[in-house]
């Protein structure tokens, strides 16, 4: 298990425990914990309703695919640290990841 943190609007961070041996994405972990993440395309990198901003741990993240980068470019709320949470596989490298769920996810 690793810990992932979700930063709320008031700055409070909610701790989630995520298994690293199930091939889950961060999106799936967020949904399993009942965060408001629509993830309409189910993880295909074509809907962007799983958009998060990574506040900590950017160095450890997997490379972005062209599809993900292209999708992020279209989003009004994208920042330099935006990612599609469905494209982030939960691995030990993600220990301590801090994300903020972005408006496109709702």
Question: In the complex, which residues of this chain contact ligand FES (CB under 6 A)?
Answer: 27, 39-41, 43-50, 84, 86
Asked whether 105 and 52 are in contact (CB, 8 A), the reply is: yes
> 49 or 82, CB closer to ligand FES?
49
> 12 or 63, CB closer to ligand FES?
63
Q: How far apart are CA 22 and CA 41, in angstroms?
A: 20
> 16 or 30, CB closer to ligand FES?
30
Q: How far apart are CA 23 and CA 25, in angstroms?
A: 7
Beta carbon of residue 3, minimum distance to ligand FES (angstroms, whole number): 22
> 16 or 37, CB closer to ligand FES?
37
Residues near 15 by beta carbon (within 8 Å), at least 6 away in sequence: 3, 4, 5
Asked whether 50 and 84 are in contact (CB, 8 A), the reply is: yes
Beta carbon of residue 59, minimum distance to ligand FES (angstroms, whole number): 22
Beta carbon of residue 104, minimum distance to ligand FES (angstroms, whole number): 9
Beta carbon of residue 78, minimum distance to ligand FES (angstroms, whole number): 13
Asked whether 83 and 64 are in contact (CB, 8 A), the reply is: yes
């Amino acid at each position: 298990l690793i810990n992932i943190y979700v930063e709320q609007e008031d700055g409070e961070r909610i701790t989630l425990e995520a298994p690293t041996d199930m091939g889950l994405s961060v999106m799936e972990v967020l949904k399993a914990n009942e965060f408001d993440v629509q993830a309409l395309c189910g993880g295909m990198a074509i809907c962007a309703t799983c958009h998060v901003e990574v506040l900590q741990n950017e160095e450890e993240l997997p490379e972005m695919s062209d599809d993900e980068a292209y999708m992020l470019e279209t989003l009004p709320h994208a920042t330099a640290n935006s990612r599609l949470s469905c494209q982030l596989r939960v691995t030990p490298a993600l220990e301590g990841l801090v994300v903020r769920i972005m408006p496109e996810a709702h």
